[in-house]
Amino acid sequence: MPAEGPPLRCPAVLIAAPASGHGKTSVTAAIARYHSRKGLRVRCFKTGPDFIDPGILAKASGHPVYNLDSWIMGAEHCRQLLFEAAGESDLILVEGVMGLFDGTPSSADLAELFGLPILPVIDAQAMAQTFAALLHGLATFRDGLTLAGAVANRVGSSRHRELLRAALPEQIPLATLPRCPQASLPGRHLGLQLAQEIDDLDQRLDLLADAIGDTFLADRPTAVEFSGFDAPSPLEPLLRNQTIAVAKDRAFCFLYEANIDCLRQLGARIEFFSPLADGKLPLADAVYLPGGYPELHAGQLSCNDSLRGEIRAHVRDGKPLLAECGGLLYLSEALEDTEGVYHPMLGVLPAVARMGKKLAAIGSQQLILDDAIIRGHTFHYSSLQTPLPASYQAQTQEGSTGEAVYRSGSVLASYVHWYFPSNPPLAADWLSSAGSAHD
């Protein structure tokens, strides 16, 4: 392990809430856009496994957004990401996940681990003085947390603002943000819509940023000290001279920025392609089909006969293909949408995927192969009917049975979204034209 370098200091804050839906993403994006418009270098992170919010925060800040999860990624990896960001940024914003204390690890765990002050966002539209009680609970429920202030979101009037301010101790900074339907971020069952689906996203972000201009959020928070390694050891180039074709469009958009970084650090050349729009598969040694929304674009995917044929030919030639969640659905014979309509898919696996209206699985998981462990998470509304037996079985954080992992020839597929940096050699093995050493 490389030697630990001298610490770096950078203004930073973790934006939290009592629960989902209070406006964490909107407030984080507002702060990011406001300060980036002033010419500051703003780096955003998202707590937990999430692909949707990072896209909006990347648009707001102008920089790629990485996730922070001490179980999936490991505390040291998270620490190094923050350290590197501190060395090149004027402001670090970390958006929490769910409620402040929800989950294992929680946003509070992350704040304590890295000394990040918390900035609770509370939807105040249906309360007045109770706002102060709720904030008091968030700030004092657990020792070790530092309060940077608070945000009262969706405030209805100047009188409402006065009531909220009067109920709080004077020393607690309070930003009150008005209801603004024109600036709200549209959502769907999995959360917010994708950044690329919101045509007027820039205008919405600017409206959000304008709203914080006369609040304490216009000032940078207190600097936090971050420690890390001077120079992490480079990865062995196990994918040197390998080209990996990565699906990336509106149907396949659940892609960790860190996964692409990891593949490049392993020596791979990345070629992105669109299963929605492209008729040809890039000349590649391996194909990576991440998750996304194939169910929203099933008709268009099923009509792209040219690309479907090329991917099937890639598999027939025995070349590696790794599929996650939405990619797994794409490999099936057909995808049945919520209206009961069947859409032909690739037919690479003997399976039929059916979309449901209720959440089928959620949570962090890991796969243990001999002495190798790779981690990730699952979150899906669909189910898979297949006679194909599981080649491996992932497990939950608690050790119970998780998602099936299917191996069929050169194809490896599962509902799990893998985090490649949790085990780069295994990820390389799965995508290597030399074959899988763990089979």
Is the alpha carbon torsion for 79, 81, 84, 90 positive or negative?
negative
439 within some domain: no
Q: In terms of pLDDT, which residue wins out, 47 or 188? A: 47
Confidence of residue 193 (pLDDT cuts 50, 70, 90): confident
2 within some domain: no
Residue 25 has what pLDDT? 93
Q: What distance in Å separates the CA atoms of residue 16 and residue 24, rounded to the nearest whole number?
A: 6
Residues 261 and 219 in one domain: no
Residues 58 and 187 in one domain: yes
| Structure token pair of residue 313 | 């030919």
| Structure token pair of residue 311 | 């991917």
Looking at residues 247-263, what average pLDDT do you find? 96
Q: Which domain holds residue 260?
A: 243-430
Residues 361 and 389 in one domain: yes
Tell me how crowded residue 117 is: count the other CB atoms within 10 A of its CB.
17
Confidence of residue 207 (pLDDT cuts 50, 70, 90): very high
Percentage of the chain exceeding pLDDT 90: 87
25 within some domain: yes
Q: Which amino acid is at 122?
A: I
Residues 219 and 284 in one domain: no
Over 300-343, what HEC string results? HHHHCHHHHHHHHHHHHCCCCEEEECHHHHHHCCEEECCCCCEE
Looking at residues 190-204, what average pLDDT do you find? 75
Q: What distance in Å separates the CA atoms of residue 356 and residue 362, rounded to the nearest whole number?
A: 14
Tell if the pTM clears 0.85, that is, is over it: yes
Residues 287 and 217 in one domain: no
232 within some domain: no
Looking at residues 89-114, what average pLDDT do you find? 97
User: Domain ends where: 166, 198, 226?
Assistant: 226
How many angstroms separate the Cα of 231 from the Cα of each of 5, 80, 81, 234? 8, 10, 12, 8
Residues 18 and 116 in one domain: yes
Which residue is listed with tokens 């949790």? 422
User: Domain ends where: 201, 226, 251?
Assistant: 226
253 within some domain: yes
Q: What distance in Å separates the CA atoms of residue 221 and residue 236, rounded to the nearest whole number?
A: 39
For residues 328-350, one letter each, b for 16 or more C-beta atoms within 10 angstroms of the residue's C-beta and e for the rest, the string is bbbbbbbbbbeeeeebebbebbe
231 within some domain: no
Confidence of residue 3 (pLDDT cuts 50, 70, 90): low
- Residue 285 near residue 318, CB atoms below 8 Å: no
Containing 152, the helix (H) or strand (E) segment is strand 150-155
395: domain CATH number is 3.40.50.880
pLDDT per residue as tens digits for the range 156-180: 999 999 999 999 999 999 999 998 7
- The least confident of 183-187, 221-225, 317-321 is 183-187
Residue 189, pLDDT above cutoff 60: no
Residues 213 and 354 in one domain: no
Number of domains in the chain: 2
Q: In terms of pLDDT, which residue wins out, 232 or 362? A: 362
Helices (H) and strands (E) in the chain, counts: 12, 24
Residues 41 and 173 in one domain: yes
Residue 89, pLDDT above cutoff 90: yes
Query: What DSSP string describes 375-419?
Result: EEEEEESEEEE-SPPPSEEEEETTS-EEEEEEEETTEEEES-EE-
Looking at residues 107-114, what average pLDDT do you find? 97
Residue 110, pLDDT above cutoff 60: yes
Nearest to 98 by CA among 192, 12, 193, 21: 21
pLDDT per residue as tens digits for the range 323-346: 999 999 999 999 999 899 999 999
Residues 344 and 369 in one domain: yes
User: In 3-state terms, the chain is what percent helix, strand and coil (to 5)?
Assistant: 30, 30, 40
Q: Which amino acid is at 115?
A: G
Q: What distance in Å separates the CA atoms of residue 46 and residue 29, rounded to the nearest whole number?
A: 11
Nearest to 224 by CA among 59, 365, 420, 91: 91
399 within some domain: yes
237 within some domain: no
User: Domain ends where: 173, 201, 226?
Assistant: 226
Nearest to 225 by CA among 90, 88, 115: 115
pLDDT per residue as tens digits for the range 373-418: 999 999 999 999 999 999 999 999 999 999 999 999 999 999 999 9
Residues 29 and 111 in one domain: yes
Residues 14 and 127 in one domain: yes
Per the annotation, the verdict on 180 as an active-site residue is no
- Residue 430 near residue 436, CB atoms below 8 Å: yes
Choose the catalytic residue: 10, 78, 253, 325: 325
Confidence of residue 229 (pLDDT cuts 50, 70, 90): confident
Which residue is listed with tokens 């002033």? 38
Residue 202 has what pLDDT? 87
Residue 371 has what pLDDT? 87
Residues 134 and 252 in one domain: no
Nearest to 303 by CA among 276, 333, 272: 276
Residue 439 has what pLDDT? 44
Containing 107, the helix (H) or strand (E) segment is helix 107-114
Helix axes 75-86, 107-114, angle to 10 degrees: 60
Residue 138 has what pLDDT? 97
Q: What distance in Å separates the CA atoms of residue 391 and residue 153, rounded to the nearest whole number?
A: 48
92: domain CATH number is 3.40.50.300
